[in-house]
Structure formats: C-alpha cells, structure tokens
Amino acid sequence: MSTSVPTTMPVASSFAELALPRGIERAIADLGFETPSAIQARAIPSLLDGRDIVGVAQTGTGKTAAFGLPLLAAVDPDLRAVQAVVLTPTRELAMQVAEAISTFAAHLPGVDVVAVYGGSPFLPQQRALQRGAQVVVGTPGRVIDHLERRTLVLDEVRYLVLDEADEMLRMGFAEEVEKVLERAPEQRQVALFSATMPPAIRRVAEQHLTDPVEITVARQSSTVTTVQQTYAVVPFRHKVGALTRVLAVSDADAAIVFVRTRGAAEEVGSALVEKGISAAYISGDVAQGEREKIVERLRSGALDVLVATDVAARGLDVERIGLVVNFDVPREPETYVHRIGRTGRAGREGTALSFVTPNEQGRLRQIERTTRTTLEQIQIPSPAEVSAHRVQKLFSRAPERIEKGRLDLYREAVAVHLAQNPGTDSVDLLAAVAALAVGDEGPAPRDAEDLDDALQRARLAPERGAVREHGSYDRPERGERRRTNTHIAGGPARWRVAVGHRDGVQPGALVGALTGEGGLTGKDVGKIDIFASFSLVDIPGGLSPDALDRLSRTRVAGRPLRIRVDSGPRGDGPRTEGPRHQHGASRPTHGPARNR
Ligand code: ADP
Ligand code: MG
C-alpha cells in the first residue's frame, strides 16, 4: 500500500479551504478547532469528492472529524431514513463518536444521530431509529441485531465508516462487519480507519472498497514509549500546591501543564507566577500571534512552564518539554495520548504525571485500557523533599561562586554575626541561611500540613470504599475512617506517635523502634499510616506499662516518639475506638510537637 496521497488529491491547510457547509463550519468554530489535523486535511477533500478511503492513523489524530464532517455534508436532513452508519469496536467509542457527530451537527437542523450498542435496552434505540435518525453509530453486534429485527434498514445508506477496524477484528467482529458491508447498497462510500494494517484489514479493503485513496499519517505512538507515565492522587483543592511541589523538584528543562478550560488555564498559570515560577498560559482565547510568541519563549528557555488547554496546545512540538502534568484527567483517553505526546519528543526522555482526584480513579483505568499501559503511582514530594532539592541545587552552584571571588563582603558579615552571637555555631548559621535562601521559614505553616494530610487520606480512603461523590474530600466526616479492629485485652489498638513523613520517617523505622525499645515482635505491629507530622500505628495487643515507659523516651529520626493512645488529632482527623479525652477545639499535638 502506498504511504502517501497521490499528488492529485488536495490537502487542505485550513477548514475554510474545505468548503464545508456553513452549519458545519460554525460547529467547528464553536469547538475551537483552528486548523485541520493531518488526517483531516487529507481525508476530508477525498471524502467530499466521493472517494472511498483507507486511513491509517493512531488514536488522537482527529479521525472522528475526518469522517464525521464529510459524512454530515452528505446527509439529507429532509430524508428521515438512515443514511450513514459508523461501526466502532466498543460501546464507549460508539457513545463518544455519536456525541462528537452530534456536536458537529449542532447547526444542522433536522439531522439526528443515534448510538446503538449492546448491554442497553433495544426500545429507546428502536424509537430513535423510527423517529428518522439519519446517522447511526454502533457496535457491529448490536447493528446486526437491529438489522435482523428490521428496526434498522440500510436501503438509503450512502456512507459507511469502519472506525478502528483492526480493533473490531481483534474483538471478533469480522463476520458482523462483513455482513453490514454486504447489506448496504452498492452505491455507497466507505471510509475505513485503522491504527494498523494487518492482512485481514487489507482483504476487507480490497473486497469492499472501490479504488480507495490511501492515507497514512505519521505514527505518534513511538513517543509514548519514551514517556514514563505516572499518576498521583490529589484532592481537588490541593492541586495547585501539589503542582508547585512537583515543579520544584522536577529535573525537566520545561514542563507543560494541561487543564480543561480557559478559566483553569488562567487561574493555574497566575497561581504559578505568583509563586515565582517562570510560567505562562495559553488557551483558545489567547490570540494566535500571542500564543506563538509564548511558545517561542518556551522553546528558547525564557519560559519554563506552560499551562495550556488541549486546543491551544495541539501539535505543540517543543523539545525542552520533559514533563507533562495533567492537572485534570482528560475525559477521553485519546486526549490523554495527545497530551503526553507533548513530551518525549525527538527521542528524548519524558515524564507524564496525571493528577487524579480520589473519585476519578475509574477514568484512570479507562486510560490504562485504551493505551494498554499501566500508570505508576507516585507520591507528591513533601516539603522536606522540595527543600532538599532546592538546597542541593543551591549548593551545587557554590563552587563556581567561590571561584569567581568578591566574597569579602560576605565573609565579613559572617564574622561580624558570629562575633555578635557567640553561642551560634557556624554550621548552624550556614544551615539557617541555606534554609532561608530556599524559602524554608521554619516549621511548616498550617497549609502545607493540610496538603500532606489530605494527600495521605486520599490515598488511603479508596481502599475503604469511603469515596464520596461530591463535596470536599479532604475532611472526612467523624468516624468515617473508624477502624473495625476488635479490641484485645492489653490496651487500645491504635497509637499515635509525634513523628511523620515530614521528619523523613519510614514505616521500617517505626517498626524498628517498637520492636527494639518497645520489646514487641514484628507480628504485634499492624497497619502504619504515616501523616505529615504524626503517624498512627495499630498495636492490636496493646502495650505494657513497661514498654510504654521505654517508648516514651525513644527517638525516631532524631525526634521523640511521644507515643500515646490515638484520640484523633482534631475534629476531622482519623479516629479510633479508643478513649476520647479530647477537650473542645484543641489541636493537641501539632503546634507543641513542632515548635520545640
Ligand atoms: P481519533 O479518533 O483519531 O483518536 P479524535 O477524533 O477522537 O481522534 O480526536 C481527538 C481529540 O482531538 C478530540 O478531543 C477532538 O475534539 C480533538 N480534535 C480533533 N480535530 C481537531 C482539530 N482540527 N483541532 C483541534 N482539536 C481537534
Ligand atoms: Mg477515534
């Protein structure tokens, strides 16, 4: 098969050039599509010209509009009969494609689109067909069912589309696809799309298509293999904070942050600038010329972070981009593929990170199925990690700075300071100056604490089926996380220690302390949840007064363990069945424990 279009076939560089009906042009403008994608530029002129086509293209290349727009141009709104049939491998795709075509038909009065697929009742589909829908999008099995019941008649069909043909054959629909092709009138156009061209598809094309124009657009999937795909569970209201930390520790030269709406682009972009990050945003609203300037700055290194909507970033090709952050999980897996394709360009390494709110994890699974990859879960860096990263960068610049000289002014300042503060150790002084230089003002403000605790809760909650559809996820209701452990004589099951992952504590260190000083065995220690400034440990057998005494003097990560029965940190935190000797509004441990 030839891999290019014969030179006689037109390739459009703008939608206007395609001379689509007015109503369709309006819908395209509404959608914010600016220029046709490669497959659209080649397929649409051929289809409008009445040709059959075979299109080889990956997901995310814009195939739906490539066949959907000319299909609608061919439909006669006054004829209340099925005139176009689109076959898709899955029910989700049928719904998506039907939805997309309906959107393209928004300004075409009298044109109706119906989706037919298995697993849902016949009757509503049948009624929609009887009402005279002209476009049917369906899975092969259900389309055949309708044909057999005569609820679907193909007599007036002049347009057939096989979307993701290879996938349909893989799913065992070869026979159904053949049947539909055979039952449709001779005088019809066929558009066949497939990501790959196995012999079986080639045979279908040879047998059922008439002198098709063959169109291949460049593979995109090679990029995906050089992109490390990750995700993190982040509650909605903490996304900006999480993003700031991710950007702070990233080694990427430049990053692109994808958001769903113009409003979000502006908001997130501005928030990053406020935090001192070299960022800008683009959306469909930003004029083309301005957008190009911003992209140029990103390319040259004058800008490090670009916040963009999907439409604005279409086709963006900037080698410096080493990180793509999906601030929201895209609704369509195809969009995901397109987004992450912005990194790993030109064979470079790239990382993609998707923020998922606790109740969006289903969408993640859908993306994993479509892209046939598994996304690796990562943790949002802690403030300590952010500071460590910054200070390391800072120190890495020191040798060069020393080399350059002209440090007398500072040497003198150090000497004066030490003379005036005789108790100050010079290493402490250097450490404090480093902390200030990286913006660490000391014990974390309440905000950061909130983010870390919320991240932790978000990670834990889904396992317990405690995901709520609406409202703030970050403040589980009283008792939501209540544990179901039965009490065993010897003491309450859940204990609280005053060290958390802000102190760099790992579960192993806690188990070590409990089994060492506490005299327990590994089996005595149950689940450990590490939060920002504290941790909760299950000890179903309880602690003897002796062990408790020893542990009360134990240090982990250089900090006193301060072990005590967990009575919940505050109204919204984890709780146990243990005694509640809590007094009113107090937040018993955070302040004092941190401000020693
Ligand atoms: P495919 O079927 O090839 O996987 P889709 O038709 O689903 O791709 O399109 C992928 C995404 O690209 C969709 O979100 C769609 O709205 C968008 N899109 C398609 N064509 C254009 C275009 N010309 N300009 C901007 N966005 C487009
Ligand atoms: Mg598609």
In the reported structure, the alpha carbon of residue 361 is separated from the centroid of ligand 2 by a whole-number distance in angstroms of: 22
pLDDT band at 345 (very low <50, low <70, confident <90, very high): low
pLDDT value of residue 155: 96
Q: Region 547-555: what's the mean pLDDT?
A: 80
Is 227's pLDDT higher than 60? yes
Using the atom order of ligand 1, give the atom closest to the CA of residue 97: 7
Of 52-56, 72-76, 479-483, 522-526, which gets the smallest average pLDDT? 479-483
Contact of 160 with 181, CB cutoff 8 Å: yes
Letter string b/e over residues 77-107, b meaning 16 or more CB atoms within 10 A of that residue's CB:
beeeebbbbbbbbbbbbbebbbebbbbbbeb
Q: Region 551-580: what's the mean pLDDT?
A: 60
Q: Is 171 in the pocket of ligand 1 (CB under 6 A)?
A: no
Of 112-116, 408-412, 530-534, which gets the smallest average pLDDT? 530-534
What domains can be seen in the chain, in order of their start residue?
15-216 (3.40.50.300), 227-381 (3.40.50.300), 384-437 (no CATH), 483-583 (3.30.70.330)
Ligand (nearest to CA of 99):
1
pLDDT value of residue 563: 85
Using the atom order of ligand 1, give the atom closest to the CA of residue 163: 2
Q: Region 379-391: what's the mean pLDDT?
A: 91
Contact of 311 with 37, CB cutoff 8 Å: no
In the reported structure, the alpha carbon of residue 9 is separated from the centroid of ligand 1 by a whole-number distance in angstroms of: 22
Q: Between 192 and 447, whose confidence is greater?
A: 192
Count Cβ atoms within 10 A of the Cβ of residue 368 and give its class: 0-12 exposed, 13-18 middle, 19 or more buried.
middle
Contacting residues for 407 by C-beta, under 8 A, at least 6 apart: 401
- For 229-288, the DSSP string reads EEEEE--GGGHHHHHHHHHHH---SEEEEEESSHHHHHHHHHHHHHTT--EEEE-TTS-H
Is 466's pLDDT higher than 50? no
CA neighbor of 345 nearest in space, from 224, 433, 208: 224
pLDDT band at 183 (very low <50, low <70, confident <90, very high): very high
In the reported structure, the alpha carbon of residue 62 is separated from the centroid of ligand 1 by a whole-number distance in angstroms of: 4
pLDDT value of residue 448: 58
pLDDT value of residue 275: 87
In angstroms, the first-to-last Cα distance of the chain is 75
In the reported structure, the alpha carbon of residue 228 is separated from the centroid of ligand 1 by a whole-number distance in angstroms of: 23
Which helix (H) or strand (E) segment is 323 a member of? strand 321-326
pLDDT band at 487 (very low <50, low <70, confident <90, very high): very low
pLDDT value of residue 310: 82
User: Pairing between strand 213-216 and 189-194?
Assistant: unpaired
What residues flank ion ligand 2 with Cβ within 5 A? Answer: 63
Q: What are phi and psi of 468, to 5 degrees?
A: -105, 150
pLDDT value of residue 567: 66
